Amino acid sequence: MKTKRPTVRDVAREAGVSYQTVSRVINNDTHVSPATRERVMAAIESIGFRPNRAAQIFQTERSHTIEAVIFYGGFNRFLFEMAHTAHQLGYHFSISAISEDEFISSLDSASSRFVDGLLLIPMVELNVTYDDLQRLTDGIPVVQIGAPLGANIPSVIYAQSLGARLATQHLIDLGHRRIAEITGPALNYDARDRHLGYRDTLRDNGIPAGQSIAGDYSLESGYQAMATLVESGEPLTAVFVANDSMAMGALTALRERGISVPDDISIVGFDDIPEAAHFVPALTTVRQDFNLMGKTAIEYLVRLIEDEGAPIQQTVLHPKLVVRGSTAPPRT
């Protein structure tokens, strides 16, 4: 029961001009009087017209699209793996890299481009509901990578708080009792869930919360945060760092101060990036497989596209702890 999209002719009728004039307006043609343009714009707005990009490309033989041809190989794994999976399933893969304020407009133009499915990879909390999304995108299937656990939206996530629990419990099991934390950015829900997992694990073990310093997931911020932590003078024997990049920065900060890892302080990271095994010392961390997440998300999205009845679900992948050399029992 899909009502058909309004066309230039509908707009023309509404605005009392010819369809050609509407065409001129949507192409920012000169030779349209300001008054007429105004009227057409109002009509477009009022009936919710979106130009049919396929028809435009068909007619003009121009798509305004640039395609990057990349050979399968080891770099830029995440986006790359998704593109590859999409291709294997018979879909083209395009990227819309936007700032947060372009979010809405990007979604609502998707339907005019006949995008079959959208993959959302937000890094901050989206304050839109699934219903909002559906309305914005005109019902185009959406799968989100990374979302709060239990969120009512088709999504693929790693259980962040579980990962944080594994990391924190590992420290506790080693005998640590003064465990600080370097968190990710506050608006990021992965970061928040990692924080909660850390906090709850301490609480469940009857251990008081340690200091918590906020970073932004960047190498530099990890370096800064660790410096702050050390210079605060607060006693601590272990730090849970919310991602591996920050952990790398943290290790540098400790090394510069002559503090030994893991003898003086144990460090646990999160993500298990390929470099983690080569940090000094090799980093104990929580493994998430981004490629798997991307692949799973694409496959699910294609299922949603091709099977109307496919259920809304959240796929929760379980991270696991990888113990290496950056953790040890505290000095006695």
Partner DNA sequence: TGTAAAATTGTGAACAGTCACACATGGTAT
Partner DNA sequence: ATACCATGTGTGACTGTTCACAATTTTACA
Q: Which of residues 34-63 bind DNA (CB under 7 A)?
A: 35-37, 49-52, 55-56, 58-60
* Among residues 106, 291, 296, 313, the one that binds a copy of itself under rule CB under 8 A: 106
- The reply on whether position 19 binds DNA by CB under 7 A is yes
Look at residue 127 and give the partner it binds from DNA, a copy of itself, none, a contact being a CB closer than 5 to 8 Å depending on partner kind: none
Bridge-based pairing of strands 212-214 and 179-183 is parallel
* Separation CA 205–CA 162 (nearest Å): 15
Is the separation of the CB atoms in 229 and 211 below 8 Å? yes
Tokens of 124: 């901050």
Q: Does 109 bind DNA (CB under 7 A)?
A: no
Q: What's the closest the beta carbon of residue 57 comes to DNA, in angstroms?
A: 9
Q: Does 27 bind DNA (CB under 7 A)?
A: yes
**Listed residue (105, 102, 9) closest to 52, CA to CA:** 9
User: Are 224 and 241 spatial neighbours (Cβ–Cβ below 8 Å)?
Assistant: no
User: Is residue 83 involved in binding a copy of itself (CB under 8 A)?
Assistant: yes
What is the bridge-based pairing of β-strands 142-145 and 238-241? unpaired
Under the criterion CB under 7 A, does residue 9 sit at the interface with DNA? yes
State the DSSP H helix or E strand holding residue 20, giving kind and residue range, or none if neither. helix 19-26
CA-to-CA distance for 190 and 326, rounded, in angstroms?
23
**What is each CA distance from 70 to 100, 125, 138, 244, 291, in whole angstroms?**
27, 31, 32, 27, 17
Partner whose footprint covers residue 98, from a copy of itself, DNA, none (CB < 5 to 8 Å by kind): a copy of itself
Per CB under 7 A, the segment of 17-25, 172-180, 194-202, 276-284 that binds DNA is 17-25
Which one of DNA, a copy of itself, none is in contact with 117 (Cβ closer than 5 to 8 A by kind)? a copy of itself
* CA distances (Å), origin 27, targets 14, 20, 22, 31: 18, 11, 9, 11
Contacting range for DNA; rule: CB under 7 A; set: 5-13, 63-71, 169-177, 271-279: 5-13
Q: At what angle do helices 290-306 and 77-88 cross, to 10 degrees?
A: 30
Instruction: Indicate which single residue of 23, 218, 228, 313 sits in contact with a copy of itself (rule: CB under 8 A).
Output: 218
Residues 268-297 that bind a copy of itself (CB under 8 A): 274-275, 278, 280
Q: Which window, 118-126, 170-178, 205-213, 261-269, contacts a copy of itself (CB under 8 A)? A: 118-126
Query: Which range touches DNA (CB under 7 A), out of 11-19, 75-83, 140-148, 220-228?
Result: 11-19
Question: Which residues, 233 to 272, sit near a copy of itself by CB under 8 A?
Answer: 245, 248-249, 251-252, 255
Site for a copy of itself in 158-217 (CB under 8 A): 217
User: Torsion angle of alpha carbons 24, 26, 29, 33, nearest 10°?
Assistant: 70
Closest C-alpha among 59, 58, 50 to residue 8: 50
Residue 62 in contact with a copy of itself, rule: CB under 8 A: yes
- Residue ranges in contact with DNA by CB under 7 A: 4-5, 7-9, 16-21, 23-24, 26-27, 30-33, 35-37, 49-52, 55-56, 58-60
